[in-house]
Amino acid sequence: MAKRLKRTRAKAAVGVDAGGTYTKIGVVTPDGRVLREAQIPAEVQAGPEAFAGRVAGLVESWTAAGGFALAGLGLGLAGDVDSERGRLRFTPNLRGWDGFDFRKALGRRLGCRVAVENDANVAVWGGFIMELKRKPRNVVGVTLGTGVGGGLVCEGSLYRGSTGSAGEIGHNVVEPGGELCHCGRRGCLEAYVGSYGIVRLARRVVEKDPARARILTALCPELDRLEPRHLSQAADQGDEAAKEVWALAGGYLAIGLANVVLLLNPDVILILGGVSRAGRWILDPVEKHFAAQPFRTAFARARVKLAAATRAGWIGAAMLAMENAA
């Protein structure tokens, strides 16, 4: 009598990218196959315990449906993350989540190892694997979304620094005494290039000369609902106010990234996140600024690339979880 072959489920990890507005979550195998994917509201005000419960519930429904064996879970959080203890030390955009033990809460319920990292770190790691195929040795990643995060890959490995706080590019000061940042300081890069900073710039430009913003105001009549995507659409259609906003925001980004090049001498600067979809409007000021820098060796080496991948955050978190579980 022929023996029945036993089917084995593929090992896979769950990745979670917790943003200030939405959380992206999915399941990926070690070879990069995406098995499940979803997006849920962040609901920051409900608190970290409720968030962990909703994530765990979704993962439980996926594992119950079968198809994979859970190898681990990786969670990317915005802020200063203690990856060794699985907690947030400080976060400007996830208020009230500081100190919560995500590793314990998720690991106990799901029965797997949990890796907790800064969200920019996991996004950059995902971009390093998916976009760059692990080829360049030294990479600076910048995530442009609600806030501005950074991650560093040094000699092919994720670099966290002595306390796990390395890569906070968004909180480097580019305008002393400037605009108020969500972190409480003034003049941070995030205050000009995070989505809330870009919208703040836009409102001022429009209020100063509404006639130059006819296309923009037609696309978004209520300034309270203005988003970076409206500015990109308006700039593409020739709106002068929108072009000015991108020139201002891109100029600040260029200053911040130039400082990073001089400090770290990377092969590639990888720009990720929703604001990166502005394309040439955000990229052109950076390339122009780099071309004018006197330290030609470092700036000629640093290739600035807009990431095409939209899954880098949660996939990077999942990949880190698998590597930690190995």
Same domain, 97 and 205: no
Give me 238's structure tokens.
């020739």
Number of domains in the chain: 2
Same domain, 87 and 182: no
Same domain, 180 and 269: yes
Strand 114-118 versus strand 68-77 pairing type: parallel
pLDDT at 293: 96
Same domain, 144 and 236: yes
Same domain, 212 and 251: yes
Burial class (CB in 10 A: 0-12, 13-18, 19+), 134: exposed
Q: How far is CA 211 from the centre of its chain?
A: 35
List phi, psi (to 5°) of 317.
Answer: -65, -45
pLDDT tens digits, residue range 134-165? Answer: 999 999 999 998 889 999 999 999 999 998 88
Q: What is the mean pLDDT of the chain?
A: 92
pLDDT at 95: 84
pLDDT tens digits, residue range 87-108? Answer: 999 887 788 899 999 999 999 9
pLDDT at 237: 97
Q: What is the largest CA-CA distance in the chain?
A: 85
**Which CATH number goes with the domain that contains 216?**
3.30.420.40
Query: Looking at the predicted structure, is the pLDDT value of residue 1 above 60?
Result: no
Same domain, 159 and 289: yes
Q: Of 1-10, 33-42, 286-295, give the lowest mean pLDDT range.
A: 1-10
Four-residue CA torsion sign, 280, 281, 283, 287 = positive
Residue 76 counted as domain residue? yes
Same domain, 156 and 248: yes
Between 22 and 247, the more confident residue is 247
Same domain, 112 and 142: no
Q: How far is CA 110 from the centre of its chain?
A: 25
47 touches 97 (CB < 8 A)? yes
Confidence tier at 7 by pLDDT (50, 70, 90): very low
Q: What is the pTM of this model?
A: 0.88
Residue 3 counted as domain residue? no
pLDDT at 10: 79
Residue 297 counted as domain residue? yes
Residue 6 counted as domain residue? no
pLDDT at 326: 60
pLDDT at 325: 65
Domain housing 59 = 11-126+311-325
| SS3 call for 87 | strand
Give me 227's structure tokens.
């988003």
List phi, psi (to 5°) of 297.
Answer: -60, -50
Same domain, 145 and 266: yes
